Each structure stands twice: as C-alpha cells, then as structure tokens.
Chain A
C-alpha cells in the first residue's frame, strides 16, 4: 500500500501529544494519569499539594517490553494514602487489582485476581475493599478484608441477580459498602 511516508508523520503529530486526564482529590491530594508526548502509556501520578511536584505512583512502561501492559486507577482511600490500581494485558476487559501504600510506593500483598470488575472501593479506615465482579451466574459484590485470602472473600450482594444486571456506583467511601443502583448490563456491552 502506498502512502506510509506521508501519512504516518502527520498522524504522529496528532496523537503524540501531552495528555492529562481529569484529576480527582482524596485527602487533599490530587491523583491523575498523564501520558507525555514521547511516552507510549499513561503513568499514574499524585500531587500532594497545589504547588507540590508530580510524583510517579505507577509507571507501566517497565511492565512489558512491547508496552502492552497498561494501568488505571480503581480507587484511592478517603485520606489519599492507599491506592487500588488495575493492571491490564492488551485490550482485555479483565484486570488484576493491586493495592499500594501511596507514601512508601510499596505494593501490599493483597492482590485481587484477574477478572471483570465493576467497581473497586476502599473503606475509609482502609481495612477492607468492596468490589463487584462478573461471576458465571451474574454480577456479585464481595468484601475483601486486608490480609485475607481473596479466594475466600465474603459475597455481600448479588444473589438472585442474573447476568442481565450489573450493579454500579457500588460502595460509598466512608460508609459500609452498599449498592446504590442496579441497572442493565452496561460496561460489558460491545462498543
């Protein structure tokens, strides 16, 4: 096919730009993802005050040689000190959820296994994670206590709901986990 020499440089100009996603604030800290013009993937950052420097939380460029492993925010605790982030292979819907202590940059041993998650939320006291994921029989919501075996996480909601329903806006930060809405299948739709 002709035209690569003329097409690729212009598309590179249009796509290789600095891109910053809308920050969200937890405990006075701003969290955001950013991809600079010379980067392949979005990096997760924290800024601990209005004039503080951007600090890298998770840089996925070292996670795979072909840059096909990417990361995303799942949740940050109300005090801004505990991060839950997703790790995704290629264009899969499934992610593995990891937890990180924001100040030390250390991952906690708790890892939620690769699955389709519909919301991950840390409790205000950081003692537990509520999350929903798709099980064979439909959407189910679980509570993971820090340090426990994720395979034994307690199912707290979802029984009786078939696969045509997806719970969303799941747990509210600072309160006990609760389901606000149960709607028709949303995030697993074809795009």
Chain B
C-alpha cells in the first residue's frame, strides 16, 4: 500500500515552534498512514506532527555494540551487523547512540519509555542511557525514564493505561515546549 500526501508549497518561511517528530524505518517496514490519538491531540493544541521515514521510538535500542547479547537481539545481526566483526564494529561504533554521549554537553530534555515486559528490546538500553545522560548532561533540562514493570513491545496495555501514559507523555512535552493544553 502506498499513500502520498499533497503538501501545499509556501513561498514564505514557516515558523515551526512545537514539532513532534517520530518515525520508523527498519527491517523493510515503514509506518503507514492511520489514525493516531497522539497526533490528533497534538495538532489540536497547535503542535506540528511530522512523520518521516526514519526510525526512532519508545522501547529503544541504543547500545549498538552489545545489543546482540541480550534477549532475541542476536537474531537481528543480519539487519544491523555485529560488533564481533571488526569491519562491522567500526560502522556500529560510528552511530551507536550510547557511545556518543559527551560529558558536559547541554542535552535537551529527554523522556525514555520502556518496561520489564519488553522481551524483545531489552529494557536495559533505556535504563543505562537515561543514567548516562543524567550523569553527563551540562544543561538543566530533565532526563527522565518512564518505567513500567509490565509494559513491553507487544502492546497489551488496557485502554485506561494507554490514556494515563499518553497523558504523562503529553504533559512532559507541553511542559518542556511551553505549551498550554486548550
């Protein structure tokens, strides 16, 4: 299924202040258009929602040098490569997010989301990345970890919990971007 969105071209510059950028792109899969309560709520409140064909997400994979050692991640070596191969090591080292955290860097606010129920992407990635960023950042912006002992990659959340979690995510974004809910 292919969809194309027509975007009006403007000649004047557009000032975009509050943009929520999210995406997915790996394993020959991409995100297709569909209703999103998150996007609808964000747009209603004046935000801009952008979905490029990239890959960023909750329940993240962040240490690309050791990822293959945990849970089922050994199965993804054909997709990402393995640090145990010298040539692939240098490629992985060049972009592995965990290995690019610099002491004293003024990082923006970050909210990591994961849980013990993630039996696919080990929750240790988000835990240790949050700890490293908290210890390293030179800014006064918060680095937070939203941790749920039962949540994981396969959904399974009751609707009431989806609402609670999305409310907290939106409060974090509104707080940090200076927005007020309408």
Residues of A within 8 A of B (CB): 1-4, 6-8, 10-12, 14-16, 35, 39-41, 66-68, 70, 88-94, 116, 134, 163-164, 184-186, 188-191
Contacts and interface: CB of A to CB of B under 8 A. Distances in A.
A86 to B, nearest CB: 10
Which of the four size classes fits the interface of chain B?
35 or more
A7 B170 contact: yes
Which 4 A-B residue pairings sit nearest by Cβ, starting from the closest? A91-B152, A90-B150, A40-B158, A90-B117
Nearest to B27: A189
Contacts of B180: 2-3, 6
Contacts, number: 145
A3 B175 contact: yes
Contacts of A40: 158-161
12 contacts: A6-B181, A7-B174, A10-B44, A11-B170, A14-B41, A40-B160, A70-B158, A93-B152, A184-B27, A184-B79, A189-B76, A190-B120
B62 to A, nearest CB: 11
B162 interface: yes
A104 to B, nearest CB: 28
Q: Secondary structure of the A side of the interface?
A: loop
B48 interface: no
B78 interface: yes
Contact of B175 (A2, A35, A91, A134): A2
A185 B119 CA distance: 16
Given A2-B174, A39-B159, 14 more contacts: A3-B175, A6-B182, A8-B163, A14-B40, A15-B163, A68-B158, A89-B117, A90-B152, A91-B118, A91-B153, A92-B118, A163-B72, A185-B78, A189-B26
